[in-house]
Amino acid sequence: METKTNVFKVWKRLLSYIVGKHKVLFSAVVICILLSSCTVVVSSLFLEILIDDYITPLLLETTPSFTPLLHTIIFMACIYLIGVVATFLYNRIMVKVSQGTLKEIRDDMFEHMQKLPIQYFDTHTHGDIMSHYTNDTDTLRQFISQALPQFISAIVTVFVILISMVMSNIPLTLLVIIVTVAMVFITNKIGGSSAKYFIKQQETLGNVTGYIEEMINGQKVIKVFCHEEEAKEEFDKRNKVLCADSTEANKFGNILMPAIMQLGNLQYVLIALIGGYMALQGIGSISIGMIVAFLNLSKTFCMPVSQIAQQISMMAMALAGAERIFQLIDEEPEQDNGYVTLVKVKNENNILTETTNDGFWAWKHPHHDGTLTYTPLRGEIEFCNVDFGYTNKKLVLHNIVLNATSGQKIAFVGATGAGKTTITNLINRFYDLADGKIRYDGININKIRKDDLRHSLGVVLQDVNLFTGTIMDNIRYGNLEATDEECIEASKLSNAHNFISRLPDGYQTMLTNNGAGLSQGQRQLISIARAAVANPPVMVLDEATSSIDTRTEKLVQEGMDNLMKGRTVFVIAHRLSTVRNSDMIMVLDLGRIIERGTHDELIDRKGVYYSLYTGAFELS
């Protein structure tokens, strides 16, 4: 019962996209389908008139006149022409409806995806997410453009033909209904099994797509470690599961159509035998024309029933695809209950007031009593006894306490997994705390709207993401309102200007495939320029120099030093040489701060930091 309810909800929601947003076009499709179905029935019934009223009398005449017969045939041709035109129109219109529907579904998916928390992408493979936009939407395209109009046409045709057959001959109609009931029973049995495996097929297809995407991204690692055979074996395992599910799904789907067709042929033979017997015995005033018309009606009746059976597999795939798409759209979006916003203000007689022109940034803080205060944006970050875990069962940060005043440089060092990156992710509110508070300029960050909070932060990551577009576009990504001159100044600040100027097209050089034509250091310099053009008061530098050579590191470090001037900076580094000049160094171990102080203070204590610094310049 619950499964049927879910199926009904999915279809209802899918139809709301198809019908609800394309009412005029879909109404035109229904009208054309009605015309097409009616012409099929009328042409079949006209055979009775043609045979009994024209052809049979002509056989008995000595000098037959073919003019009335010719007029009748021309009239039938006009009816067929109407049906052909109607069929052509509704198929053309359904292309527009299907493509428009898919556009809206993709828009809704992508728009909602932007609202999802980082944790969703941590727990779902990128390939599986991509399959929503490719495999799942393709099944919907086939359903909307092909299966749905055929299904509607089949339903209308069956209904109209059934009425015509009842009016023509009830005994023969009962025979057709009996065979049709058998068809429906077989369709329900075989189609139900087929639908179950088609749903599994969509799930395993997403799994295989996710694995392929992972292998494409990791080709260098696979080849370096000669892991081709192992990767192939794992793919074979997943591909076998997909093959098994697809085989079962298509096995039932391929059995269904021949079974329905054979029942239709059996029905055709029975009508011919019983109708012929009734005509010879004079039962029910059955004529030759009526038998021919009824045979044609029964064949036409079986065809839409067969179409319905044929479309069940496609409908099952569409159901599976739509369900997966709606699961993505229904994922809980990132919650944001913040009400403190970032605005430009000016100081007039020691009173801060909002301005749209030149001014400085401040937090606009409405209070419960109706008052409004403005706090200048200074970039002071305070952690108060913060605990955090990615799941409720295990904490990865314990009782983190720190206070970064404006302009300070705070460094985090420690082994991989100590919690360094996690701390900076909490400043961005990518995740919610288990306990404790983080204050930004004295304001609890839970009260700050996330977009405004993140606008005030600049991030330079170890793994640089450059987008398809020019270098100028990638730098402007940090501030879409920045002018070309501001982007160039940011590049000079980050030491990226020199190498960009030497490129053939300079700042208009087109980047593709994550900037594959640039070195790691050049890509990192562009990412620093991107952060610089945003001009944030707080910077997070997450192991930004760990994957580049020493010479390039010096250039990048100079760019970062320029970027850090006058800003509160959080630095995560494995190379301890890059954090020597920090105002405060935090040594983390298993999610706890075990040492803190300046470089000289920590060296004098001869504790963990001393051992790390004197033992090696890099942490493992």
Helix axes of 550-564 and 520-534: crossing angle, nearest 10 degrees: 0
What's the mean pLDDT in 147-176? 79
How far is residue 619's CA from residue 604's CA, in Å, rounded to a whole number? 20
For residue 526, the one-letter residue type is: I
Looking at the predicted structure, is the pLDDT value of residue 61 above 60? yes
**Strands of the sheet with 457-461, listed across from one edge:** 457-461, 538-542, 568-572, 409-414, 584-589, 592-597
The pLDDT of residue 534 is above 60: yes
- Say how far apart CA 187 and CA 185 lie, in whole Å: 5
Dump pLDDT digits (tens) for 483-529: 899 899 888 887 888 889 998 889 999 988 878 788 888 888 888 88
CA distances for 60 relative to 46, 51, 69, 72, 292, angstroms: 21, 13, 15, 19, 20
* Residue 509 three-state SS: coil
Non-local CB neighbours of 432 within 8 Å, separated by 6+ positions: 335, 446
Domains of the chain listed by start with CATH number: 2-329 (1.20.1560.10), 341-376 (no CATH), 381-615 (3.40.50.300)
Angle at 300 between CA 299 and CA 303, to 5 degrees: 90
Average pLDDT over residues 46-68: 72
> Pairing between strand 381-388 and 372-376?
unpaired
Q: Which of 483, 565, 552 is nearest to 521 (CA)?
A: 552
Residues with Cβ within 8 Å of residue 407, at least 6 apart in sequence: 379, 566, 567, 568
DSSP labels, 113-127: HTTS-HHHHHHS-HH
Q: Which two tokens stand for residue 548?
A: 């580049």
Mean pLDDT to the nearest integer, 86-94:
88
Helix runs in 169-218, H state only: 170-217
- 8 Å CB contact between 202 and 317: yes
Region 385-405 average pLDDT: 89
- The mean pLDDT value for 203-217 works out to 79
Average pLDDT over the chain, rounded to an integer? 81
Contact 155, 305 (CB under 8 A): no
Q: For residue 262, which amino acid is it?
A: Q
Q: Give residues with Cβ within 8 angstroms of 443, minimum separation 6.
A: 340, 363, 365, 375
Q: What is the CA radius of gyration of the chain?
A: 36
pLDDT of res. 616: 45
pLDDT (mean) for 41-60: 72
Q: Which two tokens stand for residue 567?
A: 């800003």
Nearest-10 crossing angle of helices 67-113, 23-49: 160
Distances in whole angstroms, Cα of residue 164 to Cα of each of 293, 458, 579:
10, 73, 88
Tens of pLDDT, residues 298-343: 777 767 766 676 677 677 778 888 888 999 999 988 888 889 999 8
The pLDDT value given to residue 546:
55
Q: Name the pTM for this structure.
A: 0.69
User: Among residues 422, 417, 402, which one has the least CA distance to residue 542?
Assistant: 422
For helices 148-168 and 67-113, give the axis angle rounded to 10 degrees.
Answer: 140
Neighbours of 2 (CB within 10 A): 6
For residue 304 the two structure tokens come to: 């839409």
- C-alpha to C-alpha distances, 582 to 224, 406, 597, nearest whole angstrom: 37, 13, 9
